[in-house]
Structure formats: structure tokens, C-alpha cells
Structure 1
Amino acid sequence: MRLTGPAVRLTIFIGECDVWHHKPLFTEIVHRAHRSGLAGASVFRGIEGYGASALIHTSRLLSLSEDLPVAIVIIDTEERIRGFLPQLDELVPEGLVILDHCEVLLPRPPAGGAPGVGGDTEDR
């Protein structure tokens, strides 16, 4: 069954250099979301931003920041997203975690792509 209708968007804001057991934290979060059977997850790299530290991180050449902002976006039902939140308590000691209610309108697989590739919503 594909996810359609009311859903919750979980967005986690962290730094690109944040790690979990010597690998990128965003990778661990996406892999845990996948193992948990959540409908879909994507990682977006920011080009500029700041957070609680008030230090601006940017990709502009003169600044040469190595810790750009990263947003991980995960979509599923509210029940399934809330069930995933305890894992974030373990993984994300610093950062920002937000929930938004949303509506999934067109859960389409990629044209000619394999299921599970490119952040599509897989059958469950």
C-alpha cells in the first residue's frame, strides 16, 4: 500500500560533519528509517545556514566551511513517525527536530527506476 492522505513530515537539521560511530549521522538516520519501514527519507545539503551556535556555515568559496547544514526529511503516518522518535533521542544530541502535518497527494515511483531508489515511497 502506498502512503496517501494525511501524513507527518519529520525534519531533522544537523551538521554535515556530525557522525555516528565513524560514519555520517545523516546516513545512520536514513538507514534506521529504512529498517523501521518508514515510507520515505531524503537528505538535503544546505548551502548556507546557522543554528544555536549562531555561527554561519556557507559553501561560498571564500568561507570554505566544512560543516554545512543538512536536513533529513522523513514522511509517514503520525503513528509511525512518533514511534521512530526515540531513535532520534539516541542519535541527535544537538540539532533541531520538527514535525509538520502534511498531506501526501501523488506518491509516484520514479519513471523506469528501481523501487527504493531516489526517495520514492515503496509498497508496504
Structure 2
Amino acid sequence: MKPVEFDDAETYEPDEGWRRVSMAGSDKFSFEWFEKPPGHSSPMHDHENEQVCLCLQGELTVATEDDEITLEQYDSVLLEAWESHRVENTGDELAVGLDVFAPGRSFDFWTDRDD
């Protein structure tokens, strides 16, 4: 068993107010808790990992090149590997979510990006 206490978990902020926390996971899958301030959007991006994005609080709009949906509390969406997408807090309050990636990934996806 490999527990991860939230307050002791690895944390980083790719942009001001966009906080991500690495939860328990492995090379096969990983969990990242995140919060986004109102109006914040990740850039359009893709990755080798399948991703499930679960909205825990607030409202998140997930856009791909072909579609756009808004997730409300407890809604989720599956993004296929290499599917370009962005996630935006289109609401008026802090949004909180959980991303699940398979295979798992490390935080360097955002910290080592050039764009």
C-alpha cells in the first residue's frame, strides 16, 4: 500500500491560481487533483495518455478541435490519447476537478513545456 496524504502530496502551479496535486498512482495510471480560478484555461494540448476529467466543484468547459461540453459537479468526460483539448473554468467560482491518466504521467508534462 502506498498512501498519499493530500497536504504532503507533490504540488505545482503551472499558472497562477491553477494548482495541481499528485495523488496516489503508478506508471499505469495517475490521479491529479486540480483547482482553476474563474476564467482560467489550459492551452490547447494533447498527450499520449487517455484522460478522464471529473468535475468535483464549480463548472469546467472541455473543448476539443471538434466539440465543446460543460461539466457540472460530478460530470466527467473521457479524452482519448492524442486528442487535442483544453479545460477552462467558465464559471464565476473556483472549479475543482480530478484528472485520471492512463498510462500514468509525471508533473513534468506541464513544468517542462516550452509553450
Which structure dedicates a bigger proportion of its chain to helix? 1
Q: Hey, which of these two has a bigger chunk of strand by percent?
A: 2
Same fold (TM > 0.5):
no
Structure whose alpha-carbon radius of gyration is higher:
1
**Bigger relative contact order, structure 1 or 2, given CA contacts below 8 A and separation 6+?**
1
- Shorter-chain TM-score bucket reads 0.3 to 0.5
